[in-house]
Amino acid sequence: MTATRDTFPYFGYELIRDYLLPSILGKHEKDILYWAGKDLARKFPCTDIPLIISFFKDAGWGDLTLEKETKDGFVFRLTNDPEQLKIKERNFRLEAGFIAEQIQNFKGFLTECFEEKKENQHQVFFTVKMDLKEKTKE
């Protein structure tokens, strides 16, 4: 089921994500959200990129698309209704951590993910980099 404003309580989500978490986490919000995203990925493992994309849609995080694949990484684009994406007010470290951990788990290499907001286009780009010298699995 795809979340819509009529079926998903966005106000409750916004209260927690945009007001409560920043207040609780303070200056460490971005770092903690990144690690929380990694933890969330371990609890909801995805075995491939299409499952990551489906998770984003099911979680109401927006439409994630794979834009580019290289030998050591990926570039994803996140879009959504501008009112729901809230690109100017929100950081996307939770989502970046989630993507990094998912890819690290199924590719088997140490992985990091960085986000870049394109406010005028209402898009967020996630650049994933794998360290092909650092295996996480044998």
pLDDT category of residue 87 using cuts at 50, 70 and 90: confident
Q: Is the separation of the CB atoms in 53 and 103 below 8 Å?
A: no
Return the pLDDT at 4: 52
Q: d(Cα 4, Cα 84) in Å, to the nearest integer?
A: 10
φ, ψ for residue 70 (rounded to 5)?
A: -125, 175
**All domains in the chain, ordered by first residue:** 10-135 (3.30.1380.20)
Query: Is the per-residue pLDDT at 7 higher than 80?
Result: no
Alpha-carbon distance of 23 to 126, in angstroms, equals 25
pLDDT-based confidence at residue 12 (cuts at 50, 70, 90): confident
**How confident is the model at residue 43, as a pLDDT?**
98
For residue 28, give both structure tokens: 């460490």
